[in-house]
Structure 1
Amino acid sequence: MNASLNELSPKLKNTSSGFTLIELMVTIAVLAIIAGIAAPNISTQLADQRVKSTAATVANALKEAKVESIIRRQDIIFSYDNDGDDAGTIEIENDSDTIATYQYDANSTITSTASQIEFKPSKTADAMVYTICDSNDSALPRQVIITAVANISSQLGGSCP
Structure 2
Amino acid sequence: MNASLNTPPPKLKSVSSGFTLIELMVTIAVLAIIAAIATPSISIQLANQRVKSTAVILANALKEARVESTIRRQDITFSYDNDGDDAGKIEIENGNGMIATYQYDANSTITSTASQIEFKPSRTVDAMVYTICDSNASASPRQVVITAIANISSQLGGSC
Is the pair's TM-score, using the shorter chain for normalization, greater than 0.5? yes
* C-alpha displacement of 1:8: 9.6
Report the counterpart of residue 139 of structure 1 in structure 2. Answer: 139
Q: 2:58 — aligned with what?
A: 58
2:121: which partner in 1? 121
Amino acid in the other structure paired with 2:84:
G
- Alignment of 1:32 with 2:29, yes or no, is no
Distance change in 2, residues 1:4/1:71 (3 Å): farther
CA distance in 1, matches of 2:154, 2:82: 19
Q: Which amino acid aligns with 1:101?
A: T
Counterparts in 2 of 1:40-79, with a 5 A limit?
A: 40-79=40-79
Please provide the CA RMSD for this pair.
Answer: 1.9
Give the whole-Å Cα distance in 2 for the aligned partners of 1:142 and 1:158: 6
Unaligned runs of 5+ in 1: none
Deviations 1:48-69 (A, max 9, x none): 1110010000000000000000
- Which 5+ residue runs of structure 2 have no aligned equivalent? none
State the 4+ residue runs in structure 1 displaced beyond 4 angstroms.
none
Identical counterparts, % of pairs: 79
Q: Report the CA distance shift for 1:143/1:16 in structure 2 as closer, same or farther (over 3 A).
A: same
Q: 1:37-86, CA deviations, whole angstroms, 9 ceiling, x for partnerless residues?
A: 11111111111111001000000000000000000011001100111111
| TM-score w.r.t. length of structure 2 | 0.91
